[in-house]
Amino acid sequence: MSRRLALIVALAAVLAAPAVAQPPAESVAPPNPLLQEWTTPFGVPPFAEIKPEHFLPAIKAGIAEQRRETDAIANDPQPATFANTIAALDESGELLQKVSAVFSNLNSADTNAQLQAINRETTPLLSALRDDVRLNPKLFARVKAVWDARETLGLTPVQMRLLENTYKSFVRSGANLSADDQAKLRKINAELSMLGVKFGENLLHDTNAFRLVIDKEADLAGLPPSVVASGADTAKAAGLAGKWVYTLQAPSIWPFMTYADNRELRKQIFTAYTTRCDHNDEYDNKAVLAKTAALRAERAQLLGFQSYADFVLEENMAKTPKGVYDLLNQLWTPARAVAIKEAAAQQALIDQAGGAFKLEPYDWWYYTEKVRKARFDLDDQALRPYFKVENVREGLFYVANRLYGLTFTPRPDLPVYNPEVAAFEVKDADGTTLGVFYTDYHPRAGKRVGAWTSGFRGTRVKDGKRVLPIVTNVANFSRGSGDQPAQLSLEEVQTLFHEAGHALNSLLSQVPYSGVSRGPRDFTELQSQIMENWALEPEVLKVYAKHYQTGEVIPLDLVEKIRKSDQFNQGFATVEYLAASLLDMDWHTVTATTPQDARSFEDAAMEKIQMPREIVSRYRSPYFNHVFGPGGGYAAGYYGYIWADVLVADAFEAFKEKGLFDQATAQSFRKNILEAGGTEDAMTLYVRFRGREPSVEPLLRKRGLTGN
């Protein structure tokens, strides 16, 4: 055998031999993008890189880091100072804030089963962290040492405000309680955090679970073509092509309630809406909310307050439950009287048409629209073509520019968390970048109901530089159908401007510390609600309200009809809102620490105020997410919208008196209201802008509740 042949034979033998297993190479997990520095423009989250599995380890890492930071502050051998204790606390937890902001926003606007599971797992961890920080005796001792020496430290007014907020947050979190009471408080806090998660998940389920399926074209009678087309689109997306589907999402249910001639179908969908989480099944929220209210009462009493409302309102402009009830009752009597007249007008219309029935809550939208058309010749559907969503957003940008010199530049290069999201760079009049603004306007299964403003990063000063905020406006506005673009109702137009007001508050904020970024809850709605006033001003409408097909500016006669109908249905709107506000206050002035029967409690609350039988409270208890949902941010605070509306009606009169875009007035509002955050007492800031305290009379006039 030649040498060459021998080599070939040997090689063949090797190739034929069974492979010897090699030890696997050590697998290296890719880096977690949530734990890396973001090199994206403006440091926005790199959404495409972030996966659900990244959140749990990142949140845990953030918790661990904040523990290390606060332990270092607590154990600092140097005497406590404003810098090494108060400012250091304000700066702590940066990683956790960064990760939590991304998670909470996605869990609200684009959630899925994985994110919900992570939320359930991390909520008690975060609750425990908050308690561990606020109930750390060594840390509180340092905070108290600075507080006790405050008059000798030469602090600026803003530093003094941060010190006060920090000290109060420890005291209001139980730092002065005994060890036994602190243990009770920890248990209550943990349970409350999970009850909020459960409430929100139940509501999302029941909102998504119902659909009204129509398979007979005759049942579509009365519906405008756009509403029919929308129902067909929803059906097609659900695999029911050839039928029509209507859901409990706001852009679906309310047009149906307004125009559908079929009274039985209106009753079905309205009943489904008003009985969400009230079916005595696994998604029922009655026991959840009753337990929540009882635990809140127990928590408040542990902290030395008579009720949870007393605890919350101590920090708000209203100060006491009596202050809130006095305002609400002052408005309730005239609003109820107007609503009863509105109901009588609708009943007359029913009687004239030969209807042998009494007006029911599920009739209100339908007959209100008929009265509106008869009285003002105004049809909401005729207005929608002038309110293409992109045009309305441009109208908002126009107002922000005229008032404050802001510009909004589309940034399609910025990462977004959903293809429907749009991103904008916001610049001041001098070209300085103020922040990033995201808009996310349409409903989807993974988005909770309603409209809100949030952010992926707040503003503060770090290393001598202003941190740019990343702000989001999220809503559930009407979608386009077929080849038509999304066209908004008047109410949706105002909501878009409303949420943008919150966004402007964040984008223009000039606060140096996170701990003074927000004012009282019942003050923050001023910044948003005042923006609604510009939305329907004729001078503004002519800029953005253009027919999506022809480009025609909204006709002057339509603008005049809008103006004349401004006070129409205000009895109903005020009554349904006030009823929810009073219900919220009733739940949170309870002193009993045992759960109430939720349905009986709510019935008694409505009976006490003699709620008109034709109207249902804007939120019934089982789906009152503002109050009982995750965080419960509006608990004992839902009244804040009407409190703010008193401020808004009074404040907007200043613009009407001096000019819609008067620069002196606008700059005063920007400086004292939008930029200042919670750096000073809210009423002090308002008086500095307005020159006096607000009056309720402008609101009564605005809503037509004066009795004249």
**pLDDT tens, residue by residue, 319-358:** 999 999 999 999 999 999 999 999 999 999 999 999 999 9
- Non-local CB neighbours of 526 within 8 Å, separated by 6+ positions: 644, 647, 648, 651, 673, 686
In terms of phi and psi (left: phi > 0; alpha: psi -120 to 50; beta: otherwise), the region of 611 is beta
Q: State the chain's mean pLDDT as an integer.
A: 94
Which residues in 577-606 are b (16+ Cβ under 10 Å) and which e? bbbbbbbbbbbbbbeebebbebeebbeebb
Element (H, E) at 79: none
- Chain center to CA of 667: 27
CA angle (598, 601, 607) in 5-degree steps: 140
Residues 6 or more apart whose CB falls under 8 angstroms from that of 1 comprise 9
What is the token pair recorded at 45?
A: 């989250």
pLDDT at 24 over 70: no
Average the pLDDT over 360-365 and give the result.
98
Q: Tens of pLDDT along 185-218?
A: 999 999 999 999 999 999 999 999 999 999 999 9
Return all residues near 59 (Cβ < 8 A) that are at least 6 apart: 96, 99, 100, 103, 118, 122, 125, 126
Flag whether pLDDT at 275 surpasses 60: yes
Query: Contact, 611 vs 181, CB < 8 A?
Result: no
Interstrand relation of 465-466 and 470-474 (parallel, antiparallel or unpaired): unpaired
Say whether pLDDT at 254 is over 70: yes
pLDDT at 15 over 80: no
Q: Which two tokens stand for residue 485?
A: 């673009």
Section 238-258 average pLDDT: 96
Per-residue pLDDT of 403-444, as tens digits, reads: 999 999 999 999 999 999 999 999 999 999 999 999 999 999
Three-class SS of residue 416? Answer: coil
pTM of the model: 0.90
Q: What is the pLDDT of residue 4?
A: 37
Closest CA to 498 of 558, 556, 451, 567: 451
User: Residue 483, Cβ neighbours under 10 Å: how many?
Assistant: 6
Q: Which residue has the tokens 């708000």?
A: 316
In this prediction, residues 28-32 reach a mean pLDDT of 82
Half-sphere exposure of 679 (CA within 13 A, CB side): 18
Q: What distance in Å separates the CA atoms of residue 254 and residue 257, rounded to the nearest whole number?
A: 5
Helix (H) or strand (E) holding 561: helix 556-564
> Which are the catalytic amino acids?
499
Q: Is residue 302 pLDDT above 90, yes or no?
A: yes
| CA pair distance 421, 473, nearest whole angstrom | 10
Quick: pLDDT tens for 518-527.
899 889 999 9
Q: What angle do CA 321, 325, 330 make, to 5 degrees?
A: 155
- pLDDT value, residue 29: 72
pLDDT tens digit sequence for 154-172: 999 999 999 999 999 999 9
**What is the separation of C-alpha 436 from the centre of its chain, rounded to a whole number of angstroms?**
18
For residue 502, give the H/E element and its range. Answer: helix 490-508
pLDDT tens profile 471-505: 999 999 999 988 899 999 999 999 999 999 999 99
Q: How far apart are CA 577 and CA 616, in angstroms?
A: 10
Q: Give the pLDDT of residue 30.
A: 84
52 touches 71 (CB < 8 A) = no
CB-based burial, 319-353: b 16+ in 10 Å, e otherwise: eebebbbebbeebbebbbebbeebbeebbebbeee
Give alpha helix (H) positions in 589-706: 598-608, 625-628, 640-658, 663-669, 682-690, 697-703
Whether 643 and 485 have beta carbons less than 8 Å apart is answered as no
CB of 248 closer than 8 Å to CB of 273 = yes
Could you give the CA distance from residue 16 to residue 683 in angstroms, rounded to a whole number? 88
Structure tokens at 166: 């920090």
Among the residue ranges 143-152, 413-422, 442-451, the one predicted with the least confidence is 442-451
**What is the rounded average pLDDT of the residues 359-388?**
94
Instruction: Please report the pLDDT score of residue 696 as a whole number.
Output: 83
Q: What are phi and psi of 559, to 5 degrees?
A: -60, -40
pLDDT surpasses 50 at 18: no
Residue 13 has pLDDT above 50, yes or no: no
The structure tokens listed for 565 are 């109908």
Residue where the block lists tokens 């959840």: 288
| Residue 53 predicted with pLDDT over 70 | yes
The CA distance from 492 to 497, in Å, is: 9
Model confidence band, residue 21 (pLDDT cutoffs 50, 70, 90): very low
Q: With a cut of 70, say whether residue 20 has pLDDT above it.
A: no
| Sequence-distant (≥ 6) Cβ neighbours of residue 126 within 8 angstroms | 59, 63, 100, 193
Residue 12 scores a pLDDT above 80: no
Rounded mean pLDDT of 117-127? 96
More confident call, 437 vs 20: 437
Q: What is the pLDDT of residue 632?
A: 80
Query: So what's the pLDDT on residue 1?
Result: 42
Contacts of 657-665 with CB under 8 Å at 24 or more apart are: 660/534, 660/537, 660/539, 660/540, 661/402, 661/403
Q: List Cα–Cα distances, 71 to 133, 142, 173, 206, 605, in angstroms.
A: 9, 12, 18, 43, 47
For every residue of 149-183, DSSP letters joined together read: TGGGTT--HHHHHHHHHHHHHHHHTTTTS-HHHHH
Query: d(Cα 93, Cα 66) in Å, to the nearest integer?
Result: 5
d(CA 480, CA 205): 24
- Tell me, what's the pLDDT at 700? 83
Q: What is the mean pLDDT of residues 283-288?
A: 98
pLDDT of residue 482: 82
Among the ranges given (83-87, 265-269, 431-435, 640-644), the one the predictor scored with the smallest mean pLDDT: 640-644
The bridge status of strand 433-440 relative to strand 470-474 is parallel
Mean pLDDT along residues 112-121: 96
Whole-number pLDDT of residue 270 = 98
pLDDT in tens, 564-620: 998 899 999 999 999 999 999 999 999 999 999 999 999 999 999 999 999 999 999
In single-letter form, the type of residue at position 40 comes to T
Q: Which domains does the chain carry?
A: 35-176 (1.20.1050.40), 210-274 (no CATH), 286-362+370-376+572-628 (1.10.1370.10), 384-564+640-703 (1.10.1370.40)
Confidence of residue 27 (pLDDT cuts 50, 70, 90): low
* pLDDT at residue 31 tops 50: yes
Helices (H), 303-363: 308-313, 321-352
For the chain, percent of residues with pLDDT exceeding 90: 90
pLDDT of residue 17: 43
